[in-house]
Structure 1
């Protein structure tokens, strides 16, 4: 019996080879898909992070604007009162001996005090009865301590929404050794008259948002602290430093204001002869005929 041997069919080899190539292609496709998925996830994560950053920036800008407006509103209110009608009740309040400016203007012994009150446009907060008056020694002048903002009370906020709290601090500006001689005097006034002096005041309006973070430290409320760095006791914090440590959003608006009596005058004597008529205030009334 004769045995015949047949070689393997070439088509079988070709079929086997194509099967191996197909499996390799399927693995490469899976890797490419995974890479695309990773890239998409990274792009999404970057977009979310950028959106969060943009949101924080926008929120920070809004908070800064609101705090600035609140501090500026408190300053404008005080400026309007002192520049108002001398016969108005508000003007008399701030310039009286119990008022925020009169406390310094009418008693030279109060020059170094700090007049503090919680700004609330809905109530009257400009008199010593509703204020805190700090003495130079750190105590309270006349034991008066009613002006510190209370973030746990609705009356301490500038609006009924209980969002922003603004505390005002008014002091006289420390004397400048390089200032102009007699620069503190109003022109045309007597030197001996105290009401003839020009006073310069430092006004600090500090606004905060207690809802974001409670404004306090181990010693208590931040608003109970002085806002003047030079008056901070050893191992103590100022109002700004306390708010910063408590991570309470805040802003202090500082300005200097000159307060003086305005003296009006009219020039009446023109030199030479002219055709122009004099001011009626400069012409003596003619005597009435009998």
Structure 2
């Protein structure tokens, strides 16, 4: 006699099998979508970082180019017209060196390297009371194509020059040339603060309400709110910008009995240009 028993088999309906497959497919689709979103976000972040790096490089180059041009014009030949313009009584350095009463002013011009980078007829002078010389034609203007550094109209750079404020390092006699006694001194050095502000006006408006950011001072110590400086105003307006600060010594160099590349004269005294 056989003891084997038969048990009923478990049958799965075709409809339940199709439902399980559908759930698995949906899970795979969700995973693929998540992977795609992560990849897109990562690519967007990389693109923003690359763009930001390119913008910073462009701004720094534009601002530094102004410093190099200024240095070359002052350290170059005294026979050049640009040399006379920079050191004349209405130039960015001569304005202070030949006018002692102008020590609290700020000289402003737009850097235009496609022509001669400095136009002595397009300058402005700032004081605590506002613009006092040259009206507003020294400020960079996004509406003026020639105010841009290149013909691509991407960046523009404004230069603000002022005398360095008196401090423990700039006390009396610090302007005298080292190595000469007071009875034979024939040269004098002046220390200047040079702030070059490079911006990309295409990204945002350079005005905040009725305030023109280019018309603001670069001297942070003279204002209570940083938004009233050119760099702070640009940041508040959302304009990509970079400010390069340089402290420069401009000196009437001499060698006892001979003037060297500055002013006129053949004796101990080397006077500055009179105009």
Using the size of structure 1 for normalisation, the TM-score is: 0.78
Q: What is the CA–CA distance in structure 1 between the aligned matches of 2:186 and 2:193, rounded to whole Å?
A: 19
The unaligned stretches of length 5 or more in structure 2 are: 1-5, 258-275
Match for residue 220 of structure 1?
A: 211
Query: Is this contact kept in 2: 1:99–1:126, CA < 8 A?
Result: no
**Is 1:177 equivalent to 2:165 in the alignment?**
no
The CA deviation at 1:109 is 1.1
Match for residue 7 of structure 1?
A: none
Match for residue 261 of structure 1?
A: 252
Kindly report which structure 2 residues correspond to 1:1-290, keeping only aligned pairs within 5 A, or say none.
Answer: 14=9, 17-20=10-13, 22-124=14-116, 126=118, 128-135=120-127, 137-142=128-133, 144-179=135-170, 182-187=173-178, 196-232=187-223, 237-264=228-255
Query: Is this contact kept in 1: 2:220–2:226, CA < 8 A?
Result: no
Q: Please list the CA deviations of residues 136-169 of structure 1 after superposition, one character each: whole Å capped at 9, or x if unmatched.
A: x323334543201111111221122211111000
The CA deviation at 1:36 is 1.0
Q: State the secondary structure of the residue aligned to 2:86.
A: helix
Cα RMSD, aligned residues only: 2.7
C-alpha spacing 1:214/1:180, structure 2 compared with 1 (3 Å):
closer
Structure number with greater CO (CA < 8 Å, separation at least 6) is: 2
C-alpha spacing 1:244/1:259, structure 2 compared with 1 (3 Å):
same
C-alpha spacing 1:193/1:236, structure 2 compared with 1 (3 Å):
farther
Query: Is this contact kept in 1: 2:177–2:185, CA < 8 A?
Result: no
* Count of paired positions: 252
The unaligned stretches of length 5 or more in structure 1 are: 1-9, 267-290
